[in-house]
Amino acid sequence: MGEWVQAAATAAQAGPGDNTVIIDVSQVLVITDRFVVTSGANARSVRALAERIEEGVDCCGGPKPAAIEGLSDCEWVLMDYGDFVVHIFTASARDYYAFDLLWKDCPAEAVTLSPSPAAS
């Protein structure tokens, strides 16, 4: 499961995701263990992120999401993988709902991409 969470987060941060974090909610929720949270610049990038994340999890042998909500307006898309949930916001929706502030007491890990060896 950790590999699938990391695959989702890496796919988001690879583009066009911004400010991608993994939040460990296992101590406060029983329905899931982790949130992957990311933002897109607009509805089009949110939809692209949902597709990229689903492909990223699938490529490492992970499951399809049990449910996807929010694709009709792409302001806040939720992808439910059971053990983890992906939240994809437009930047304005993420600010409005103060999602990061809501979960500030839970351990969080920012996702950064390592430079490729060829770039060195």
What pLDDT, on a 0 to 100 scale, did the predictor assign at position 119? 45
Structural tokens at position 31: 């329905």
Domains delineated in the chain: 2-105 (3.30.460.10)
> Is residue 8's pLDDT more than 50?
yes
Tell me: the pLDDT tens digits for 30-44? Answer: 999 999 999 999 999
Tell me: the pLDDT tens digits for 66-113? Answer: 999 999 999 999 999 999 999 999 999 999 999 999 999 999 999 987
Tell me the pTM: 0.92
Which letter, b or e, does each residue of 5-38 get, where b requires 16 or more Cβ atoms within 10 Å of its Cβ?
A: bbbbbbbbbeebbbebbbbbbeeeeeeebbbbbb
What pLDDT, on a 0 to 100 scale, did the predictor assign at position 1? 65
